[in-house]
Amino acid sequence: MKRIFISCFFLTSCVSTFSQTNDTDIFSEKNSLQYAAYLEQQGDYLIAAREYERLTYTYSIDSLRTPALRNYYKTKDWQLSLNKAGQLFPDRKLMPLAASIFLQKTYIQLEEYGNMLNGKILCKSVLDLAHGIQIQGYSSINKNDLNGWLSFQSFTEGDSLQWIEMTPVIHLLKNHKEKSPVKALLLSAIIPGSGKIYTGEWKDGLASLVMVGLSGYQSYRGFKKQGVKSAYGYIYAGLTLGFYSGNLYGSWHSAKRQNRLFNQELRKVTKDALLRIF
């Protein structure tokens, strides 16, 4: 039994030594790189990123920091990607351009446009674009200041293809008008449903007009036939008041809802345009 154990141990040691001398060690630098590339190809981005990161520190291969960051970005965990960018590249001044692109794209995904100015930028025009987004663009969205956004058009004038990518943003802005909740409420106060029609919600506006009109007409018929003692008239008068109040409330919130939906669409279009630039 002892001989068998010693023989197996010796055979295993020989095989291991032979494997390492023939560069077939699965943990070698070459095979680990191939494994990381394979993981990325298969879409296992998180494991691939960790493997690249391990190789970076194990073999002191600084060039693998960028593939590591690239795979962290591909996981679509934007906060993780941002944190890893800080760990892999403590000094942003030494960050390669390829890695900087993924950092900027991460800021875009997180809608942290102001931080885009802190890293390396592709070129001067993109720096101007980031500055325009920060000052005249994104802050204007949060304040519902569409005039501020429209002034952003001056940043898009030029022959650069990077400016052309912003065309959908400008087109969206030119074809949009801010909806006033006060105006919607006043319109519906005069003609029920007209406030919702003003905000673009035609079906709800017409429904409000019909409901208020029909209930009001039924109330009028009841009072006309039986006078002020008509229970029928009072019932429909109450319904009319309820429909009318709901019409006012709905018109106010319809304007706010349409503005909110537009802001969401504007954010998405802006983000998509910036991602195409990078």
**Dist CA 36 CA 55 (whole Å):** 9
Question: Tokens 């060039």 identify what position?
Answer: 63
Q: Please give the share of the chain, as a percent, with pLDDT higher than 70.
A: 71
Contacts of 276 (CB under 8 A, 6+ apart): 165
pLDDT of 83 reads: 95
Stronger pLDDT, 133 or 89, i.e. the higher one: 89
**Dist CA 185 CA 188 (whole Å):** 5
- Residue 212 CB: number of other CB atoms within 10 A? 23
CATH of 29-110, one of 1.10.260, 1.25.40, 1.10.1760, 3.30.1490: 1.25.40
Q: How far is CA 5 from CA 9, 12, 14, 16, 64, in A?
A: 6, 11, 14, 17, 43
pLDDT of 94 reads: 83
Q: Are 70 and 88 a contacting pair, CB within 8 Å?
A: no
For residue range 13-70, list pLDDT tens digits in order: 544 443 444 445 667 888 999 999 999 999 999 999 999 999 999 988 899 999 999 9
Closest CA to 155 of 132, 175, 123, 177: 132
Contacts of 160 (CB under 8 A, 6+ apart): 125
The rounded radius of gyration (Å) of the Cα atoms in the chain is 32
For residue range 215-228, list pLDDT tens digits in order: 888 888 888 788 87
Stronger pLDDT, 22 or 132, i.e. the higher one: 132
> Mean pLDDT over all residues of the chain?
78
**Dist CA 220 CA 224 (whole Å):** 6
* pLDDT reading at 118 higher than 70: no
Stronger pLDDT, 81 or 108, i.e. the higher one: 81
* pLDDT reading at 256 higher than 90: yes
For residue range 200-219, list pLDDT tens digits in order: 999 999 999 999 989 888 88
DSSP assignment of 25-74 equals -TTSHHHHHHHHHHHHHHT-HHHHHHHHHHHHHHTT-GGGHHHHHHHHHH
Q: How confident is the model at residue 117 (pLDDT cuts 50, 70, 90)?
A: low
What value, to the nearest 5°, has the Cα angle with vertex 178 and ends 176 and 179? 120
Q: Are 274 and 131 a contacting pair, CB within 8 Å?
A: no
For residue range 145-185, list pLDDT tens digits in order: 445 555 554 544 444 555 667 677 777 777 778 899 999 99
- Residue 156 CB: number of other CB atoms within 10 A? 17
* pLDDT reading at 73 higher than 80: yes
